[in-house]
Structure 1
Amino acid sequence: MRQNISGSSPWEAKVGYSRAVRMGNMVQVAGTTATREGRVVGVGDAYLQTKVALEIIRGALEEAGARLEDVVRTRMFVTDITRWEEVGRAHGEVFGDIRPAATMVQVAALIDPQHLVEIEAEAILT
């Protein structure tokens, strides 16, 4: 059985995707930015954007019946890799004890030029 979780991103309907999808015991969370009510939160602040994106991810996981402790992988896309420590510190505050497999890579741009980071997450419910 498939469960689509919608968020508040203005791009979901335009692009045709869900914030998260649960199939069986797996939950896949789409690339998530610090966007609330159509506005970028934490403009210029990579740490805050990471924290907000992770809060949105947490909400999607919970709606799908999962928890942060179920996350087995995250992918972080950053527009400036020299700011990796800000992103990493926020990620570590959330996942420090959980320690999912993680990737952080620099990308040329994200959908809004004010976005500094976008994060995906995968969870497996046991």
Structure 2
Amino acid sequence: MKQIKKIATGSPWEDIVGYSRAIKVGNTIEVSGTTAAGANEYEQTVAIFESVKKVLAELDAELNHVVRTRIYCTNISQWEEIGKAHGAYFGEIKPVTSMVEVSKLIDPEILVEIEFSAIIP
């Protein structure tokens, strides 16, 4: 059986909702929807990537192991700003990605939420 490692943030929501920040099963990592504070979509997206770099490091992985991102935003007209931040971190890596507009996220100040899938070779 493959070893499972779970990462938690200590947020009370993890127990209430019943989720983990990230899970590693064998060489596969799934990172739950990640958000960040910031004045605009670009700043929030950059902060999300910086946060996920740390989570991946805890699981012995790096951004270049990311094979998929799923981006949720509250204003699709800002796709270029979100895309520029994504390109700054993933321009050479080029994971598959989706960007979808949603009516709202859990907090009105959150404009972007991103999920990540990674595979360690």
TM-score (norm 2): 0.93
User: Is the contact made by 1:7 and 1:60 (CA closer than 8 Å) also made in structure 2?
Assistant: no
TM-fit CA distance, 1:54: 1.0
Residue in 1 aligned with 2:9?
Answer: 7
Q: Answer with 6-15 or 103-112: which moved more.
A: 6-15
- What 5-or-longer segments of structure 2 have no aligned partner? none
TM-fit CA distance, 1:58: 1.1
- Correspondence 1:91 to 2:86: yes
Quick one: distance in 2 between partners of 1:9 and 1:52?
A: 18
Kindly tell me the number of residue pairs found equivalent between the two proteins: 119
Structure 1 segment 24-63 matched on structure 2, within 5 A:
24-34=26-36, 41-43=37-39, 45-63=40-58
Name the Cα RMSD after superposition. 1.2
Deviations 1:61-106 (A, max 9, x none): 1111111000000000000000001110101100000000010000
Residue in 1 aligned with 2:23?
Answer: 21
Q: Answer with 5-14 or 56-65: which moved more.
A: 5-14
Quick one: distance in 1 between partners of 2:118 and 2:47?
A: 19
Specify the SS of the correspondent of 2:107: coil
TM-score (norm 1): 0.90
Structure 1 segment 80-119 matched on structure 2, within 5 A:
80-119=75-114
User: Is the contact made by 1:28 and 1:123 (CA closer than 8 Å) also made in structure 2?
Assistant: yes
